[in-house]
Copies of this chain bind each other. A is one copy, B any other.
Amino acid sequence: MPSKPRTAKRSSQISELIEERIAIGVYQPGRRLDEAELAESFAVSRTPVREALIQLSSAGLVEIRPRRGAIVAEIGTRQLCEMFEVMAELEAMCGRLAARRITEAEQKALQAAHQACENARDANNPDSYYRLNEQFHYLIYAASHSNFLNEQTLILHRRLKPYRRLQLRMRDRINSSFDEHAGIVEAILAQQGELTADRMRAHVVIQGQRFADLLASSPMLGNKS
């Protein structure tokens, strides 16, 4: 049934499956993750489930309270802001390096991704834009040619994912997002490292702020602090 037969460990597969459910919103922040229940759901024993939960806990997606079970991590507005701050800096760094190191093939790919975003915007398709926006950012991470930075940025991106989804429903956010992308592409193609960094940072910071506004106005997720 699952699309990935995979050679790797069962526990890692399960980790990915749970992460997927968290990202999509099937398991929302604060939701209890019962080991036995998950084990049955995946038709395995508790052992690989526990190992998966530990992995997700290390990734920050799940919180394990000793002897009291695991829940999907609920991140307060305070920490969420802090995370966006760090994300902004990491993405700025990706941009700076990408502007200096991007290859021609990567330039092509970036322009194509940007074009795809434009199409999604014109079609007024937020779900599609969400996905393509992600690809656009991933291309920039990769173009930094720093594997480690790429990894770290991806990890934080995944961690913010459950919260991002809501945010792009916001009125007119897609339009301004796309415009910001245009500025970023321009700066990268001009090989302007610092300019790219500034624009990337601003792009992410705005996301963070919009998101904080959203949270402040609606008591949706257990937003403590």
- Interface residues of A, Cβ cutoff 8 Å to B: 7-9, 11-12, 50-51, 54-55, 58-59, 66, 78-79, 82-83, 85-86, 89-90, 93, 146-149, 152
Contact = CB atoms under 8 A, between A and B. Distances in A.
B147 A79 contact: yes
A61 to B, nearest CB: 11
B58 A7 contact: no
B85 A149 contact: yes
Contacts of A9: 66
A155 to B, nearest CB: 10
A89 B93 contact: yes
Contact of A148 (B83, B93, B147, B149): B83
Main secondary structure of the interface of A (DSSP, over half): helix
B8 A82 contact: no
Contacts of A148: 79, 82-83, 85-86
B149 A82 contact: yes
B82 A146 contact: yes
Contacts of A58: 54-55, 58-59
9 contacts: A9-B66, A54-B54, A58-B58, A58-B59, A79-B148, A82-B149, A83-B148, A85-B148, A86-B148
Contact of A85 (B7, B85, B146): B146
Contact of A66 (B8, B59, B86): B8
Q: Which 10 A-B pairs have the closest CB atoms?
A: A58-B58, A82-B148, A82-B146, A54-B54, A9-B66, A8-B66, A89-B93, A83-B148, A79-B148, A86-B149
Nearest to A97: B85
